[in-house]
Amino acid sequence: MSHFVPYTEWLFRLSEEHTGKSHSMANLNQARSENPALRLFSVFRAARTGPEREPLGVAHLHTTRAVQASKVFARGAKPLGVENVHEWLGAWRASVFFPPEGKKARLEASVI
C-alpha cells in the first residue's frame, strides 16, 4: 500500500534525493529513471508555496458561489481524500500508466 505524506514533506524528500544524486550526471540520470519526479524537480521547486497555496503553487479556490449554485455541493459533497488517491492509483496501474505496486518504473531516457 502507498504511504501518503504532505506535499511539503514530499518536496523536501525529493530535494534531498536530487541533491544526493546530482554530484554526477550518470547518477542523476539513473535516479531520474527510477524516480520520474526528479525529471520535473525544477518545476516543483519553482512553484510558489505558502498557506494560501495548494501544491504546485495553485491558489486556494473559494467555493462559496459553487455551493450556492450546486445542489450536490449544498448537500455537503465530501472533499477528496486518501481513498480517492488509492482509486486513481489502482486505475493508473491497471492501465499500465504506473507500474504495479512494489515494482519500480522503467523509463527510457529521452533526448530533447
Residue 22 resides in a domain: yes
The answer to the question of residue 80 being in a domain is yes
What's the distance, CA 107 to chain centroid? 18
* Residue 112 pLDDT greater than 70, yes or no: no
Give the distance from CA 50 to its chain's centroid.
Answer: 17
Tens digit of each residue's pLDDT (9 = 90 or more) over 7-50 = 888 889 999 988 887 777 788 888 888 888 888 888 888 888 77
Residue 2 lies in a domain: no
What pLDDT does residue 52 have?
81
Q: Does residue 36 form part of some domain? A: yes
In a domain, residue 73? The reply is yes
Q: How many domains does the chain have?
A: 1
Give the Cβ contact number of residue 7 at 10 Å: 14
Q: Is the pLDDT of residue 110 over 50?
A: no
- Residue 40 CA to residue 11 CA, distance in Å, equals 11
Q: Quick: pLDDT tens for 62-99.
A: 888 988 999 888 888 787 888 888 898 888 888 877 77
* Domain limits for position 41: 7-94
Overall pTM > 0.95: no
Residue 70 domain flag: yes
Establish if 53 belongs to a structural domain.
Answer: yes
The C-alpha cell at 39 is 525529471
Residue 109 lies in a domain: no
pLDDT higher than threshold 50 for residue 107: no
